[in-house]
Amino acid sequence: MAGSEPGSDEALTKEEIQGSSETPSTGEKRKNACSCLPIIHLTLPPRSAMTHNSNFLYAVTALMAPRKKPETPARSTGGNPFKDRMGLGAYLADPSSLPCSVVVSHDADFVVIRDKYPKATVHLLILPRSPAISLLHPFDALADPSFLTLVRAAAARARSLAAAELQRLLGPHSAAEAARQAVLDGADGELPRGRDWEAEVMVGVHAVPSMRHLHVHVVSRDMRSEALRHRKHYNSFNTPFLVPLADFPLAGGDERRDPRGRGYMRRPLRCWRCGRDFGDRFARLKEHLEEEFEAWRRE
């Protein structure tokens, strides 16, 4: 995994590794959350889930902020320590100096950012800040029970944030949200929980990371994004190449420990929702994903 040339078992393109790929536009005009702050419209996680994250409301605001073109943190003119595969390291030292359109939340242990090239409606990355951990392969880092406990807690918070953002963006279109929306619109009764948006969010790591710094993906299931441009982009989240955080610690003989040569990136394209096999017809899959997205958000 030297330089910026990706191997056949990696999920990113050379341009994404270098940070030079065109960043997607959202196609959606969002209100400035810093001025309207409709926090009341979100189903927040239980207080127990917020105890260790005092900036939860800031993080919700950050997710709701207008999506700007992703910024790259300032880098030293004396050399670029965050070039190519080291790019994620630029977000760790001083996350408070970065805009909320980039950094969703941060504390002493983790920084949560928006993925620069999101592969779905919501796509976050959890980055551990400890120098002793941050450059380990995820399989090695997550074998440590203490660290795994920390990551699970951080992932639960990030998943709640992602779910809240899905609820904000897609809730008005969802049949399961109708009763809740009616109360928000003035109908009598207690506010129902509505759709379980957390169930629509995947949390895991790639078996062969393209970037050196350890990162955990928190990504919605829909796979609808302008940045989803290649077969390997899709398969990296819809084959065993994505190892769910819930599966850790991995057993010693787990085949995902040795993914190279298993052809995960070259597997036939299958719709995540209906299971239809598209073979290698990526363009047709993309069209189908638009249809599935409309049906999925109406559930």
Neighbour-count burial of 79, counting CB atoms closer than 10 A to its CB (0-12 exposed, 13-18 middle, 19+ buried): exposed
pLDDT score of 4: 74
Q: Can you list the residues of the chain whose pLDDT is less than 70?
A: 1-2, 25-79
Structure tokens at 219: 């990504």
The residue written with tokens 């077969």 in the block is: 231
The residue written with tokens 């819930």 in the block is: 246
Report how far residue 24's alpha carbon sits from residue 243's, in angstroms, rounded to the nearest whole number: 26
Return the domain boundaries, the chain: 86-298
pLDDT score of 55: 53
Tell me: the pLDDT tens digits for 217-255?
999 999 999 999 999 999 999 999 999 999 999 999 999
pLDDT score of 33: 35
pLDDT score of 36: 29
pLDDT score of 9: 83
pLDDT score of 49: 45
E strand or H helix that includes residue 165:
helix 145-170
Name the phi and psi angles at 223, rounded to 5: 55, 35
> For 44, what's the count of Cα atoms within 13 Å in the CB-facing half-sphere?
18
| Angle CA 137–142–147, to nearest 5 | 120
Report how far residue 65's alpha carbon sits from residue 101's, in angstroms, rounded to the nearest whole number: 6
| CATH number of this structure's domain 86-298 | 3.30.428.10
